[in-house]
Amino acid sequence: MAEENATQRRETGNNNRVIVIIGGLVIVALVGVIVALALNMNRQPQIVVQEPEPEQRATLVTEENVQEMVEEMLKEPEVTVPQYYSVSMNMNWHFPDGASETTDAYVENMADNETPVYFDIIRSDTEETIYQSPVLPLGSTLEHFKLDVDLDAGVYDCVCVYHLIDENQRTLTTLNMALTVTVEG
């Protein structure tokens, strides 16, 4: 019986040691988390300023660098710029007032064009952008829309700037068309 009591005391002592060790590890982990949180709270927020990329200019091709220039050109991805674009739109747009939908504006990206497009309407006198269209896929038509700016009654000479874009909406080229916007009142 004495042996059983001694064995139980050893097991109890071992269990107590395991509990104390686990408890100590938990306390150390909690202290580590608290210290890490305290250090993060005292940090100043980091502001990352992205510098604009410097303007790149073309390199003069000489006899010494011609081979290198040819190799660089061959590495660049080929960009296919559309060779034509058929404009299908009316050139005089009317709006009952500055906040209402147009009564007659019509813009189509014809199905036989090469790329999707979007366009911006810019006032000729102030260069203010008064409308930015959504992307028009091939074969789509845009009608019944409002201007992005509530214009006063009047006649506005504008430029419609078409952006012919690739599948990532990067502008391949632009096309400008004269346009008159009339706001009735």
pLDDT in tens, 56-110: 677 788 888 888 888 887 777 666 777 788 889 999 999 999 999 999 999 999 9
In a domain, 128, yes or no: yes
Is residue 166 a part of any domain in this protein?
yes
CA dist 161 → 74, 84, 120, 166 (Å) = 32, 15, 5, 16
Residue 48's pLDDT band (cuts 50, 70, 90):
very low
Q: Taking a C-beta distance cutoff of 8 angstroms, is the pair 180, 158 a contact?
A: yes
Residue 55: C-alpha distances to residues 20, 51, 58 (Å): 66, 12, 10
| Domain at 133, CATH number | 2.60.40.2550
Question: Would the pTM of this model clear 0.85, i.e. be above it?
Answer: no
51 domain residue, yes or no: no
